[in-house]
Structure 1
Amino acid sequence: MDQWLYALHCLNGVLFFYLITSVCLRGHSREVDDQASLMPFADDPAVAQRVEQAIGKPVPAVKPDVALEA
């Protein structure tokens, strides 16, 4: 009986994780996900330009603050 109860708890955990994840991802659009995937390249304009040429999508390049370039 304990094995069935443990299996039921595990199944409930997986189901809960699936439902919460699907609810959280429901609000995302493809455009937001694409922009988020390009963020690591945004702080280096040269790299952003190379990535933009490679994939054909605009990368919002922003120069880092002068204080961070020391």
Structure 2
Amino acid sequence: MKAHEFDAEFDDGYNVSEAIDWSNARRPNEMLQRISVDLPEWMIDALDRKARNLGMTREDLIRLWIGAWCL
């Protein structure tokens, strides 16, 4: 499929996902880099309580908060 055909079908509301090679798809800037942060025990306990109340892991909660703050 040529690019102009793809664009026209997309613009007309057709599902063009079959024309995409998803095996090579990636999100930009999604490379992970590990960091280490030292926190006092009371803070870790508070994070664990909050994460448990929300039904998520401590790591997911930290990612959520940092991600929201960085936007």
TM-based fold match above 0.5:
no
With the shorter chain as reference, the TM-score category is under 0.3
TM-score, normalised via structure 1 length: 0.23
- Higher RCO structure, 1 or 2 (CA under 8 Å, sep 6+): 1
| Structure with the larger helix share | 1
TM-score, normalised via structure 2 length: 0.23
